[in-house]
Structure 1
Amino acid sequence: MNPSATGWIKKHFPTFKETIVNPNYSENNFYIKLQQTGFTYANSVTTLSQNNQDTLKLTLEEKTKVNLFDTLGYLFFLKNPNATQEDYLQELLFFYEEVEIKNTSFFKFPSILKANLYDKAEKVLQQRIQLNENIFQRNFSNLITNALLFLDALAFLHYLTYKTGTPAYIKNLEAVICRVILAAFQQKTEKSHYEELILKLIQSSLRYNKLTDINYNLSKTCFKSIIHSLEKNYLLDIACIAIYSDERLANKELEFLAQLGTYLNLPERRIQTAVTQMQLFVAQHKPEIVYFDYSNALQHFYKNTNRMVRVLIIRNKRRLIKEISDSRELMLLLHKSTQQELSITEKEKVKTQLLDICKTIPSLAIFILPGGSILLPLLIKFIPQLLPTAFNENLQDN
């Protein structure tokens, strides 16, 4: 199942029903499993339905998309156990149509109106997980994933339960979450570059509120509307990951979490468990957590672009090999490039011929878009590694 290709939802449904619906998780057990994927920490390192037999390595964006779909689906079938998959998709579309604010509707594109139910749902989920930036801006920034996606799940649960008042609910809850995060930042005696990145992440994720004041404390926040266990668990997890930016927990910060627990009417052992689980998650997955990697912006851009290009090439390996093998001159130039610098004329030939090949493979269309030529050096870098061993030997014999 490829979450970036059309038709992925229909193909994913059997796995979804087997792993998410059939076990009949309690809400608490489901949340713990979702927490372990990293979704509630804003960094999905795996998915709820992924297993060791999966051969396709998913990107961060794809994992996030699948987790969002699975989470919304779990909540829907929890409320509607006898419903069909089409019922779920229809309700999902109704929900997003209701909560979207003016001028940002998922249904503003005429093509979505003409699509079938599955295509509409895929487009909605894809647009939901993307930040409001184009692909180059998104990779250049440190804002790779949306920090507040679990808010969608909580709003969907409210929508399924009450069928009314969902926009007001999501606006209020978003404001509470942001104030808790900002209050967590106030506990730090030394501010780091990390906090700046998280603030940008929050600002880019907000859909109903704007940050006008970054100086908040818990006493300024109204928690009366936070009554569901999922709401409380999520607020606590968000506070934990925000306050742990320097991978240390000072006494003042622990006192802050205890105070938050008091406002949320959570027992002390629940706070301790949340802290332990968060520390364990960071220890196990730190290299994969985007906001712990805030090196030079250009390095970050290269790293994420490098990963994106590698995924594209691996998924189109067979067709690439066939197309390149049919072009003897390109084969020779690629081989030569591994041993010495190509001349300007030779580089231009490689560029032209590779772009011609990309035109024949839809998934590689990004390379022929305006600005796509900046990715060509990465394309050239990875291709020789994927060609058969005989690639170099045959050329050397000639």
Structure 2
Amino acid sequence: MNPSATGWIDKFGYLVKDNNDYFNSFEELYALLKSTGFVYGINLDIPPFIIKEVPLSEDEKAKINLITALYFTYKLKNNEPNFEAFLGHIFKFYKDLGINRISFLNKFLTGKKTSSKLENLLNSRIYLEDNVISKTFNNIITNSLLFIDVLSFKRYLEGETSIKEYAQRLEHVTINITYHTLNSKEKNKNDEKLAQLFASSLTFIESEKQNFDGSYRNDLVSKYSTSENRYFLDVACLTVWEDQSLDYTESEFIFGIGKDLGFDKNEIANSLQDVTRFFNLNVHKIPHLKDHNLAVQFYDSMSKIVNKLILRNSKRLQKELSESKELVTLLSKSTIKDLSPEEKKKVQNQLVDIFKSIPSLAIFILPGGAVLLPIFIKLIPKLLPSSFDDNRVDE
């Protein structure tokens, strides 16, 4: 399943038919979504029943996790789920939230099918920015509060009539918990980045207009369910987490707010252990913990994009390269020694001709696309016969 190509929601519907009983409760669904990072707003994995046919970017994982969360939330309320009916419910839900607007261009390009329209709608929910350049320079591109959509949809299925106001209250509590948790500890750069990420992810409220007086705590137990309170607790644990700089497991604030949320000490300790385990396993993969300068961010982001494009077009590239023996010779030479200026120019011109025949690689023929060629050449040995690379190791 490729979440960046049209038809991915229909493909999900096909895949999920044989996995309708994958979760027996919302708690099981929540536990899996927490292990993938979706609950924390950091998508590093997807549900096991979806086979990774191609390498997935974080935004693509976020799409899969979001549709999985929404579908099984619906399924757990309907013993005999109908996928088309589910799509209709989701579209109506986002319409009631007031975030179902699709640009004129997308309306023009999108088909009449509900799934096609929903693909564009979910795409708008995933990204924080619509600007391609800002996505390139910013490793943090996905909405970190997407689980609020899931909790809101759950309440919507339970009959909530003022669903937009409900979502506003969830965001209000979440951002207040983040603010007060940060103020309960000594701040560092990672804390500032996390706060900015959460603030950028707000949809229904404006962080600048928030009242951070702590009054939100009075209604935590009485207004919200265990599912909602567990999410609030995990957000607090995520915010208090700090890499080996303090004993956050003894945070008085966390145990205090955990008690307000209706949890005992063991449940609060387990929530802290979960976030600790998640970060210990994935600390080097989490974008907002990487302290790169702008140039390194650009290179890292573009490297991921180019890597994904090449792997997904590998068969076509192999065919095109096989028809250009001189280019293959020069590329194989580039893996062991530097090319002369004339050879580099020849490689560039011949590669541009190839990229013209593969539309998804059009990024290389845009102005400045030559900057990406070193990344491409670095990846090329994976596509060349092993005889061209004496040091190649097959994993």
* Fold equivalence (TM over 0.5): yes
What residue number does 1:192 align with? Answer: 188
**Larger deviation: 223-232 or 200-209?**
223-232
Task: Sort the Cα spacing of 1:348 and 1:137 in 2 relative to 1 into closer, same or farther, 3 A.
Answer: farther
User: How far does residue 358 in structure 1 lie from its aligned partner after superposition?
Assistant: 1.9
What residue number does 1:327 align with? Answer: 324
What residue number does 1:354 align with? Answer: 351
User: How far does residue 311 in structure 1 lie from its aligned partner after superposition?
Assistant: 1.8
Contact 2:356 2:362 in 1 (8 A): yes
Aligned with 1:58: secondary structure? coil
Aligned partner letter, 1:302: Y
Instruction: Show the 5 A alignment for 1:77-96.
Output: 77-96=75-94
CA distance in 2, matches of 1:370, 1:168: 46
Contact 2:24 2:76 in 1 (8 A): no
What residue number does 2:10 align with? Answer: 10
Contact 1:7 1:118 in 2 (8 A): yes
What are the ranges of 5 or more consecutive residues in structure 2 without an aligned counterpart? 391-395
Cα distance per residue 1:205-234 (max 9 Å; x no partner): 111222227994644555346411221111
User: How far does residue 63 in structure 1 lie from its aligned partner after superposition?
Assistant: 1.4
Task: Sort the Cα spacing of 1:205 and 1:140 in 2 relative to 1 into closer, same or farther, 3 A.
Answer: same
User: How far does residue 347 in structure 1 lie from its aligned partner after superposition?
Assistant: 3.2
What residue number does 2:385 align with? Answer: 388
User: How far does residue 85 in structure 1 lie from its aligned partner after superposition?
Assistant: 0.6
What residue number does 1:35 align with? Answer: 34
What residue number does 1:212 align with? Answer: 208
What residue number does 2:59 align with? Answer: 61
CA distance in 2, matches of 1:233, 1:251: 18
What residue number does 1:141 align with? Answer: 138
User: How far does residue 81 in structure 1 lie from its aligned partner after superposition?
Assistant: 2.5
Task: Sort the Cα spacing of 1:251 and 1:206 in 2 relative to 1 into closer, same or farther, 3 A.
Answer: closer
Cα distance per residue 1:270-295 (max 9 Å; x no partner): 11110111111111222222222233
Contact 2:335 2:389 in 1 (8 A): no
**Larger deviation: 60-69 or 297-306?**
297-306
Q: CA RMSD in A?
A: 2.7
Cα distance per residue 1:373-395 (max 9 Å; x no partner): 432321122113321124469xx
2:90 corresponds to 1:71:
no
Contact 1:16 1:49 in 2 (8 A): no
Task: Sort the Cα spacing of 1:22 and 1:392 in 2 relative to 1 into closer, same or farther, 3 A.
Answer: closer
Task: Sort the Cα spacing of 1:392 and 1:288 in 2 relative to 1 into closer, same or farther, 3 A.
Answer: closer
Instruction: Show the 5 A alignment for 1:254-269.
Output: 254-269=251-266
Contact 1:35 1:41 in 2 (8 A): yes
**Larger deviation: 335-344 or 26-35?**
335-344
2:134 corresponds to 1:121:
no
CA distance in 1, matches of 2:319, 2:161: 56
Cα distance per residue 1:62-91 (max 9 Å; x no partner): 211111000000111222222311111111
Q: With the length of structure 1 as denominator, give the TM-score of the two structures.
A: 0.88
CA distance in 2, matches of 1:201, 1:151: 15
CA distance in 2, matches of 1:131, 1:353: 37
Task: Sort the Cα spacing of 1:300 and 1:352 in 2 relative to 1 into closer, same or farther, 3 A.
Answer: same
Cα distance per residue 1:77-115 (max 9 Å; x no partner): 2222223111111111222222135xx823653226643
Contact 1:237 1:274 in 2 (8 A): yes
What percent identity do the matched residue pairs reach?
36
Contact 2:75 2:81 in 1 (8 A): yes
Aligned partner letter, 1:307: K
Contact 1:183 1:215 in 2 (8 A): no
CA distance in 2, matches of 1:42, 1:135: 21
Aligned with 2:236: secondary structure? helix
**Larger deviation: 153-162 or 290-299?**
290-299
Aligned partner letter, 2:240: I
User: How far does residue 179 in structure 1 lie from its aligned partner after superposition?
Assistant: 1.0
2:289 corresponds to 1:292:
yes
What residue number does 1:105 align with? Answer: 101
What are the ranges of 5 or more consecutive residues in structure 1 without an aligned counterpart? 394-398
Q: With the length of structure 2 as denominator, give the TM-score of the two structures.
A: 0.88
2:162 corresponds to 1:162:
no
Task: Sort the Cα spacing of 1:226 and 1:288 in 2 relative to 1 into closer, same or farther, 3 A.
Answer: farther
2:280 corresponds to 1:283:
yes
**Larger deviation: 301-310 or 346-355?**
346-355
Task: Sort the Cα spacing of 1:287 and 1:17 in 2 relative to 1 into closer, same or farther, 3 A.
Answer: farther
**Larger deviation: 36-45 or 351-360?**
351-360
Aligned partner letter, 1:29: E
CA distance in 2, matches of 1:319, 1:113: 27
Task: Sort the Cα spacing of 1:106 and 1:259 in 2 relative to 1 into closer, same or farther, 3 A.
Answer: farther
Task: Sort the Cα spacing of 1:255 and 1:124 in 2 relative to 1 into closer, same or farther, 3 A.
Answer: same
Aligned partner letter, 2:101: S
Contact 2:255 2:268 in 1 (8 A): yes
